[in-house]
Structure 1
Amino acid sequence: MAKATKKQALGRGLSALLKDPENDIRSASDKNADKVVGNIVELDITAIEVNPFQPRSSFNNEALEELASSIRELGVIQPITVRKLDFNKYQLVSGERRYRASKLIGLETIPSYIRIANDQESLEMALVENIQRQDLDPIEIALSYQRLIDEIQLTQEKLSERVGKKRSTITNYMRLLRLDPIIQTGIRDGFMTMGHGRALVNIEKKADQIALYERVIGKNLSVRDTELAVRNYHKERDSTKGIVKSESPTVFTKKASGELGDHLGAKVTISAAESGKGKITIPFHSEEEFQRIKKLIVGE
């Protein structure tokens, strides 16, 4: 108990330090920055603004009320994380549920870890922290991965290292974004699972996706039943008269080798069997040329 009291007193002391204009800390190299950055400080809730980069867009009101009740009884057990914007002005990086619940019950201060980060670092911290949560739905996770790739300009390989997930796992989540928005909403609302979505994404036409989605919901189909329905859908399409058949291996490989060659600035050879299996060969004549081609392929 004595340790807790001492820690709280220290937090209040740091809070007073931050309110002193003569100790306005702007960077990690400023005087007294080591006493504040990375430490737990009791900050005025009114001095904290919501993070505009927050990837989470919806908060369950009932769960928020339960958290508020817990905070009322036990206090904020896990501090939020903020970044310093200006004198006595901060922005949330993570912990928006705790922040909202604390405001809900009228708390004046909240324990906070202080970070100094630019907008890109703040976005990355918010997205990565968000992905690690256990209560996110698959679409929220997929959108967070997409934002890290688009806005932080990470390749899937780098993203895999950053979030500690296999590249195949990331790919499976991001493929869900190819589903019609109606189906994405169904996954977010719990009407069907990620497994169902992974099956439906193999149907390209959005109208057909939705038709099968409605069947999945209406008949309460399992993931296995959904996968079977998708396979049957493709069989029916292949057997329907008037369906344009796939190009022969010779035709599509000749066309693709030219397109790839133009893109990579190198001679590309593609060979394929009737089954569709094949091999792509890209020759290079130096390490420099190899690195150039690699950069074009992986997007680094």
Structure 2
Amino acid sequence: MAKGLGRGLNAFFSEEEASRDEQIKEVSLNKCRPNPYQPRKEFEEEAIEELKTSIEEHGILQPIIVRKSIRGYEIVVGERRFRAAKMAGLEKIPAVVREMTDQQMMELALLENLQREDLTALEEGAAYRNLMEELGVTQQELSERLGKSRSHIANLVRLLSLPPEITQKVNEGLLTMGHARALLSLEDDSKLLSVAVRIENEGLNVRQTEQLVSRLNQPAVKSKAKEKKDIFIQEREDVLKQRLGTGVKIKKGKKKGKIEIEFASDEDLERLLHWFDQ
């Protein structure tokens, strides 16, 4: 079992269910359809081809898990094996039939992919968001349920607010999650795509990207007197922006000042409040 996933897959079945002898039956591949809650959108053809070769040589060593549906069966766990078996020309596949709710299917499909580290950052973030919406739970509750840190879930969900052109670059590995998090701090959304292209063309690392975003967030024109006066405030703003991953304004008056912190959504606000509680 992968570390950091709590009880993982075992969390969905009682000790009695886990220890019982489950009947394995042969089901027709034509009666099986993919899990509608599968968080993984792309399957590597090379990996499926390798599994197909193994199935042709050794057969299917582990049954898939399905649930009964109106038109046959829905795959809960084992879509790779299902795809490879079809590619190998099999007509039937060994399967364990279990009764499951939609919520259990969503969680189990996510856990299976997390344990194999199969998901991209965006697929994982979308799966977390879907689970929170479907289950009506907070990031903290989902964190405890899946054994993932709350900050990890919050950061991945925040990535979904980026433009599709940028999320595509993350999915393709052209930008890292660190790059994407730095881009979330850019105050002028109209500059996001041009900065992403610059990161790719110039091969900027995450630290360099953070510095670039910080410079772009500074006002274009400043009087020399004001620049000297506010240099300490500007440095503190930059530190907070990098630590919080969002826009920050420090306004200093004659007797008192205030700090303005931007947040993109209710979940983002929760993330920031949790950061201050630490």
Of 56, 71, 75 in structure 1, the residue corresponding to residue 40 of structure 2 is 56
Partners of 1:163 and 1:238 lie apart in 2 by: 48
1:210 Cα offset (Å)? 0.8
> 1:231 and 1:247, CA in 2 relative to 1: closer, same or farther beyond 3 A?
closer
- The question of whether the paired residues in 1 share the 8 Å contact of 2:250 and 2:258 is answered with no
Partners of 2:40 and 2:199 lie apart in 1 by: 27
What secondary structure, in the 3-state scheme, does the structure 1 residue paired with 2:218 have?
helix
Work out which structure has the larger RCO, using CA pairs closer than 8 Å and 6 or more positions apart in sequence: 2
- Whose radius of gyration is greater, 1 or 2? 1
Partner of 1:111: 94
- The question of whether the paired residues in 2 share the 8 Å contact of 1:120 and 1:152 is answered with yes
- The question of whether the paired residues in 1 share the 8 Å contact of 2:64 and 2:81 is answered with yes
> 1:35 and 1:217, CA in 2 relative to 1: closer, same or farther beyond 3 A?
closer
Superposed CA deviations along residues 182-226 of structure 1, whole A, max 9, x for unmatched, are: 110000011111111111111143321111100000101111111
Partner of 1:79: 63
> 1:103 and 1:239, CA in 2 relative to 1: closer, same or farther beyond 3 A?
farther
What is the 5 A alignment of 1:248-259?
none
What secondary structure, in the 3-state scheme, does the structure 2 residue paired with 1:276 have?
strand
Partners of 1:171 and 1:117 lie apart in 2 by: 28
Partners of 2:207 and 2:159 lie apart in 1 by: 17
Partners of 1:77 and 1:220 lie apart in 2 by: 44
1:104 Cα offset (Å)? 0.6
What is the 5 A alignment of 1:1-300?
38-85=22-69, 89-237=72-220, 239=222, 274=257, 276=259
Q: Normalising by structure 2, what TM-score?
A: 0.69
Partners of 2:173 and 2:75 lie apart in 1 by: 28
Partners of 1:156 and 1:83 lie apart in 2 by: 28
Superposed CA deviations along residues 245-269 of structure 1, whole A, max 9, x for unmatched, are: 969589xxxxxxxxxxxxxxxxxxx
1:232 Cα offset (Å)? 1.3
> 1:199 and 1:277, CA in 2 relative to 1: closer, same or farther beyond 3 A?
closer
> 1:35 and 1:206, CA in 2 relative to 1: closer, same or farther beyond 3 A?
same
Partner of 2:230: none
- The question of whether the paired residues in 2 share the 8 Å contact of 1:37 and 1:115 is answered with no
What secondary structure, in the 3-state scheme, does the structure 1 residue paired with 2:94 have?
strand
What secondary structure, in the 3-state scheme, does the structure 2 residue paired with 1:172 have?
helix
What secondary structure, in the 3-state scheme, does the structure 1 residue paired with 2:55 have?
helix
Partners of 2:43 and 2:152 lie apart in 1 by: 25
After TM superposition, the structure 1 stretch with the greater mean CA deviation from structure 2, 225-234 or 43-52, is: 43-52
After TM superposition, the structure 1 stretch with the greater mean CA deviation from structure 2, 176-185 or 69-78, is: 69-78
The size of the alignment, in residue pairs, is 222
Partner of 1:262: none
